[in-house]
Amino acid sequence: MKIRPFAAWKAVRNVLNDPEQTSEVFRVLRALSGPSLSKNFNRFCNTDVGNRVLAEKLDLVAKLTDAEYLESLPKHSLGNTYHRFISREQISAGGLEQASAEASAEDGYVTSDANDQSDPDFDLFVKRTRASHDLFHVLTRYGRDPLGEACLLAFTYGQTKNIAFPFILLAGSRRLYQGAGITVFNALWRGYRDGKSAFWLLAADWEDLLEQPLQKVRDTFRIPAPERYQRLAANLAHAGT
């Protein structure tokens, strides 16, 4: 996949003007993912979980949109906590899929991932990775406020080395700095370091992990509490920023 910085910059400007334009985020990812997405896919294929997901065509989106199943899980499980999170935020894994599909259709792409050649296994990997975004929110404790989303992007960059994420961060850093001051960069750096040191979540066995206690999953993948973000977010909330 070719890197297209001008297309990415146009999409980032649209996101900065309207943060709710999720489809524009996918345009940035498509424009800048380049070889990193293929590298992550190849790494995924070399894991036991990856081989099973591809062989059995496991559909994580279907699992994450099964409200009855998620509600049936223990209260402090990853799956039940995820369900309460998306219900509170009024979002869904299906909504991410729709936003991605809309961006692809508007730009004239046939495949969901906009890869140069359609590959069902690659498509499944991209779809699974996209669906895990809000699971990342739950595991890391980063909220959906602008600072929380930025810190999660930094965390995700630590996991994926996809340059689209720091590109978005750099483009939006001015507004974050204006709202939170220099300490915002401490929180972002901590997010990146935590993502880099955590076990690789792109090969997580989400189907099994959904039923496990949330804190156990965090401990297993070495995901600490984001204390710098939490302190800064609390200060911003207290100041009414």
pLDDT (tens digit, 9 = 90+) per residue, 171-190? 777 777 776 788 899 999 99
Q: What are 84-143's pLDDT values in tens digits?
A: 999 999 998 877 766 555 545 444 443 444 444 579 999 999 999 999 999 999 999 999
Q: Is the pLDDT of residue 9 over 70?
A: no
Residue ranges of the alpha helices (H) in the chain? 5-17, 22-32, 34-45, 48-56, 60-64, 67-72, 78-89, 93-106, 120-131, 133-140, 146-160, 164-180, 183-197, 206-209, 214-220, 227-239
Which residue's entry shows tokens 């209260």?
Answer: 75
The pLDDT value recorded for residue 98 is 67
Contacts of 134 (CB under 8 A, 6+ apart): 64, 82, 85, 86, 91, 93, 96
Judged by average pLDDT, the poorest of 29-33, 154-158, 206-210 is: 29-33
Q: Is the pLDDT of residue 155 over 50?
A: yes
The pLDDT value recorded for residue 172 is 72
Q: How many CB atoms lie within 10 A of CB 173?
A: 15
Burial class (CB in 10 A: 0-12, 13-18, 19+), 221: middle
The pLDDT value recorded for residue 135 is 98
